[in-house]
Structure 1
Amino acid sequence: MTGVLDGYSVPVALQDAQTDGRSAAAAAGTAVAERQRLVERWAERHGVDAAHRLAEAEDLADAVAKEITPENTLDTYAKSWRVWTRFCSCTGLPELEGSRGALVAFVTWMLREGQQDGTGYAASSASTHLAAAVVGLRERGCAVSRDDQAAARKALDGLAVRLLQEGERRGRGQAAAAEVPDLYRVVRACPDTLAGARDKALILTGFHYASRAQDPAGLLAGDVTLTPRGLVISVLTGKTKHSVREAKINYQSDLEICPVEAWKAYRARLAGEAPPRWSEPTAPAFVGVDRHGNVTGGMVPDSVTRAVKRISVRAGVSIAWTGHSLRIGLATTGRRKGKEAVAIADQGGWARHSRSMNGYFQRVDGWEDNATAGLT
């Protein structure tokens, strides 16, 4: 990497420093010791029996926290901790010290050479790894102050600006938004098979409730209810205080791209061509289908992401979609059609003043409200 980070190197004193020998097992031992000291203080205040009950309540709290943490969040924490340990291995810094200097060195290293292939991370990825690494440090009994974390984030932001000034562009940028003309292309490119019917329903319903890749993967058939006015989809979500949102999808005037009709056709075809168990309310709403037309099981987030991309490529969409394209598409299309921001937020499960949703709106507003629009 050239430019601003060329002259950076970890000080020799730190390169030569030996780790203090504390492993993950030692961290666990430290946590146990801290818990024991806490129990002893409770015993002094409230008696031994109450102290044991409080300790059991702490264990329950830990178990509940682990249970309710979304799986993708746990995956992110695990991945970021591996990045942190690689950094510590490269620099000779101890894994269980989250000092200001260590965190600033961490973000600098990530931007310079942090990826497995020796290239630097995009600033957004580095930011995610920093936040998750701090969580990992605290979980392992290491104190990380807000001031130290803020210093690292300030360094990251400043270095990212310098990289942009030097002409470096990293990351994929924002995903392409699905547009209504694209929906026609997708529908017309779908084969007349069970997989093709599944693809139509996946895309058209996903567009209309602003799905993330994990949303259709988490749906059961019983979560989708057909009513006289359309579909009601009970979407599980771990990203807001609400565990389920009820997304309503109206019948559309053009039956060719109507998500309700696509869902009905898919379910009818599934009932006719697959074993009855795949039509049970407890079966996955969207199933994998092999090249011979056999159901292989429920779709998972990765398979949904791959399917969305494959479907868009098959349809000749100019910029291939990602797992977020349907979600962005609902926000931008709704905005363009004059829908209220509150209605869009509720349909897609955004907070009503969501920064990400407002960023999607800017795609539309940046053209419609542009100072150059209609000048001549």
Structure 2
Amino acid sequence: MSEQNTMTTEIDRTDLVVDAELVPAQHAIGGGAVEAYDPAAAAVLAALEQGADEHIAAVRPRKTKVSYARDWTLWTEFHTWLAGRTGTMLPLTAVTKGTIVGFTVWLDEVKQAAPTTIDRRITGVTVTACSKGATVPKEATLAARQLVKRFRNDPARMARGRGKAVPMTPAHIKAMNTADRIVPKKPGSRRRRREYAVPELARLRDRSASSMRFGIAGRNEEVSALDDTGIKLIAEGLDVHVPSVKGRPPRDVIVYYGEHPDTCPVRCWLAWQQAKLAAGAAPGGPAYLPVDQWGHLGTQRLSPDGCGRAITRAAQQAGVDAHLTGHSGRRGLVNTGRKRGKRVEKLRAQGGWSPKSPVFWEYVDDADRTEDAATDGIGL
């Protein structure tokens, strides 16, 4: 059989994508046979496919790449574990319903991973396998995620993870922003000094970052991506441009003056901005910069992880009885806003949630749980 006939036969067996719907080749528009590509066209299409994959890989965030690499390492470890029991080492690119479900069960029973972590690792493995030329059947990932869905109904399994982010409150921000700069040495710390003074520049930055995070309901990546030029002083407070991160759409939000100087995002931003420029920062650069333990200002943008650590560290230094993380500000704005009667659509727009975001509506439900409860004021 000639090369052209072979190619035509293979194409006839495939499905075509028409208007985002999979249809058998024989039912394609026009009803005729699919024209085979000549060698030159096939070569160009292959090069474009490779270029597309390379471009997608290049723009993928570094943290995602690291996570996917870790997922693939665990996938390899699972295959080694499986080979020890079956006597056969399967190809890593053999992503089938059996292998992916087996991997899911292994992560649950052997690694004791949280359901949310398992779900994310399934994504990492399938994306990496596809990048290596493997074909991942849709029924394979569906079966694995059905299993994860059952795991989510088990409180013991859900307790393996970090759990829900603790909502940040204005009281938390006040405690962090008014904490003593002198921090005593922690038990077991290798520091020689008995106490440590937080540099004033770092304190001003953290005051601004914590109140700004709350005001824009910002993620770590979004706080890190803020620029001076995107934060404009207006009569009501600040007009903040939150850039696009990880493919999410950008947004422009208004952050009003606060009721108290110590927690006001506008006053804290202006104080940090003045101190930053006085320390030699270039105008119009990143909104938040690193500050070392001696108070020296860095020149590169404060990383997303750095923004998250700054919040957690400030809370610990202030003695806040809650583990505040990167999502605490997002959950906190919804929680506090709903209790103050803020409209759902306003809160959703401030944090950039999609209308059908299950996470956002979970935050709303948690905030509304004690408001106008069914047994409140009914004469019991």
Fold equivalence (TM over 0.5): yes
3-state secondary structure, aligned to 2:55? helix
2:214, 2:180 → 1: CA distance? 16
Residue-by-residue CA offset, 1:304-353 (whole Å, 9 max, x unaligned): 11110011122222212011111111111122222222111111111122
Identity over the aligned pairs, expressed in percent?
29
Partner of 1:335: 338
Q: Are the aligned partners of 1:108 and 1:156 in contact in 2 as well (CA < 8 Å)?
A: no
Amino acid at match of 1:99: T
Counterpart mapping for 1:1-376 below 5 A: 45=36, 47=38, 50-92=41-83, 93-114=90-111, 120-159=112-151, 161=153, 164=155, 169-189=159-179, 191=181, 193-239=200-246, 242=249, 244-272=250-278, 274-275=279-280, 278-281=281-284, 283-297=285-299, 298-374=301-377, 376=380
1:356 CA displacement:
0.5
Amino acid at match of 2:364: F
1:359 CA displacement:
0.8
3-state secondary structure, aligned to 1:287? coil
Q: Provide the TM-score with structure 2 as the length reference.
A: 0.78
1:47 CA displacement:
4.8
Gaps of 5+ in 2: 1-6, 12-34, 84-89, 182-198
Q: Are the aligned partners of 2:231 and 2:241 in contact in 1 as well (CA < 8 Å)?
A: yes
1:133, 1:369 → 2: CA distance? 45
Instruction: Pick closer, same or farther for the CA change 1:167–1:265 going to 2, 3 Å.
Output: closer
2:94, 2:165 → 1: CA distance? 36
Q: Are the aligned partners of 2:227 and 2:286 in contact in 1 as well (CA < 8 Å)?
A: yes
1:177 CA displacement:
0.5
1:61 CA displacement:
2.5
Instruction: Pick closer, same or farther for the CA change 1:72–1:342 going to 2, 3 Å.
Output: farther
Instruction: Pick closer, same or farther for the CA change 1:225–1:99 going to 2, 3 Å.
Output: same
Q: Are the aligned partners of 1:221 and 1:279 in contact in 2 as well (CA < 8 Å)?
A: no
1:374 CA displacement:
4.1
Amino acid at match of 2:213: G
Aligned CA RMSD, in angstroms, stands at 2.5
Residue-by-residue CA offset, 1:230-288 (whole Å, 9 max, x unaligned): 2122222235552x21122112233332111110011111222x12xx1321x321111
3-state secondary structure, aligned to 1:247? strand
Residue-by-residue CA offset, 1:199-248 (whole Å, 9 max, x unaligned): 11001111000111111222232222222322122222235552x21122
Between Structure 1 and Structure 2, how many residues are aligned? 324
Q: Are the aligned partners of 2:114 and 2:157 in contact in 1 as well (CA < 8 Å)?
A: no
Moved over 6 A (4+): none
1:48 CA displacement:
5.3
1:131, 1:225 → 2: CA distance? 39
Q: Provide the TM-score with structure 1 as the length reference.
A: 0.78
Q: Are the aligned partners of 2:72 and 2:125 in contact in 1 as well (CA < 8 Å)?
A: yes
Q: Are the aligned partners of 2:114 and 2:158 in contact in 1 as well (CA < 8 Å)?
A: no
2:351, 2:147 → 1: CA distance? 34
Which has more helix, going by share of residues? 1
3-state secondary structure, aligned to 2:290? strand
Instruction: Pick closer, same or farther for the CA change 1:122–1:89 going to 2, 3 Å.
Output: same
2:235, 2:151 → 1: CA distance? 56
